[in-house]
Chains A and B, each alone.
Chain A
Amino acid sequence: MAQSLTHGEMALPADWRDLFALTKPRVMSLVVFTALCGLLAAPGSVPPVLAFSSILAIALGAGASGALNQWYEAGLDAKMKRTAGRPLPAGRLDPQTALQFGVGLAAFSLFLMLFASNWQATLLLAVSILFYVFVYTMWLKPRTPQNIVIGGAAGAFPPLIGWVAATGSIAPLPVLLFLLIFLWTPPHFWALALFVRSDYAAAGIPMMPVVAGEKSTRRQILFYALIMAAAAIAPWPLGYTGALYGWTAVILSAIFVALSVQVGTRTTGEGDLMQPEKRLFAYSIAYLFILFGAVVADHWWPL
């Protein structure tokens, strides 16, 4: 524990790089991008400094969630190859520092959001942090294979918060964007879970491939990909976006479904390299980035 970094009464202060790594910077980039898209797609205009501060608050809130997640899961992370090098399981940071950093960052992100935008966005940000830490990390993840289905809601908040920060109210389009990320999360994470299955099994995390088996996971990836595609295209026929977004969603979702069919209908043997699963996982990240970019492009330059 903390003693690992101490000498008598003296403890080595944590390196700031380790504190930064605690915020899961790669996850944060997707959070920042989708929040920014939600904010930019909202009607009206926000002074740039307030827009920047709101996005910064969302990024810090996401970082705080990541830090508290890593603090709680340090023991599990130590058992998985993919996460064993993180600052806590590697022993470069003591848990007390990580906890204080996470709580402090969460409190500051809420203060900044309240100062820069409105109480509605602050409330949503607080709900998303609490949901990720208490509902997903502490409650669902260690208990049920449906963990990321419900927990996916935590990652779906940013565009909604971005929109509310700009307008002070909720509208159908950001709710559809919320739904899109919510439905995108299961195929995205289960594609990853299929090729790091042994890691999750070793840590005792009940991810879908570990509990329900590979065949069932593959079927569910395909099922979620289909309803996600419908949710992605929905804003166009419902009149919330134009043809630019509509056609982008149709084409990208068709590719997503095609890759999911490949993953959903195959069986693997010993030593399989899991290329289709890795391809689907990589594509799903690009898919979300491009689709959210299209929402903004459609708002600013409608066809």
Chain B
Amino acid sequence: MTEKPNPEPFDEAEYRRRQRSRANMMAWMLGALAILFFFITIAKMQIFS
């Protein structure tokens, strides 16, 4: 689909930086979702009780 004219040279430091940045982002999002799902459950329990 997309042809890139100049391939990006591989950079070990950049690889690690992106990996770390994505892992951090994923950890924060999973934490936030766990909290959100907890409160959704509480709200649903209150509605149905």
Contacts and interface: CB of A to CB of B under 8 A. Distances in A.
Genuine A/B complex: yes
B40 A1 contact: no
Nearest to B8: A5
Nearest to B47: A47
A103 to B, nearest CB: 16
Chain A contact-residue range equals 20 to 34
B2 A89 contact: yes
Contacts of B22: 13-16
A49 interface: yes
B1 A49 contact: no
Contact of A10 (B5, B9, B15, B21): B15
Contact of A16 (B4, B21, B44, B47): B21
Given A53-B36, A116-B40, A15 B2 contact: no
A12 B4 contact: no
B15 A12 contact: yes
A142 interface: no
Contacts of B18: 12-15
A88 B3 CA distance: 9
B3 A16 contact: no
Contacts of A78: 2-3
A171 to B, nearest CB: 21
A15 B21 contact: yes
A53 B10 CA distance: 40
Contacts of B11: 12
Given A12-B15, A15-B18, A88 B1 contact: yes
A75 B10 contact: no
A53 B40 contact: yes
A143 B18 CA distance: 39
Contacts of A198: none
Given A16-B21, A47-B43, A115-B37, A10 B1 contact: no
A12 B40 contact: no
B48 to A, nearest CB: 12
A75 B21 contact: no
B2 A13 contact: no
Contacts of A95: 1-2
A7 B12 CA distance: 10
A54 to B, nearest CB: 10
A29 interface: no
A115 B39 CA distance: 12
B43 A49 contact: yes
B11 to A, nearest CB: 8
Contacts of A115: 37, 40
A10 B37 CA distance: 36
14 contacts: A4-B3, A6-B10, A7-B9, A8-B10, A10-B10, A13-B18, A14-B18, A15-B21, A15-B22, A49-B36, A49-B42, A50-B40, A53-B40, A91-B4
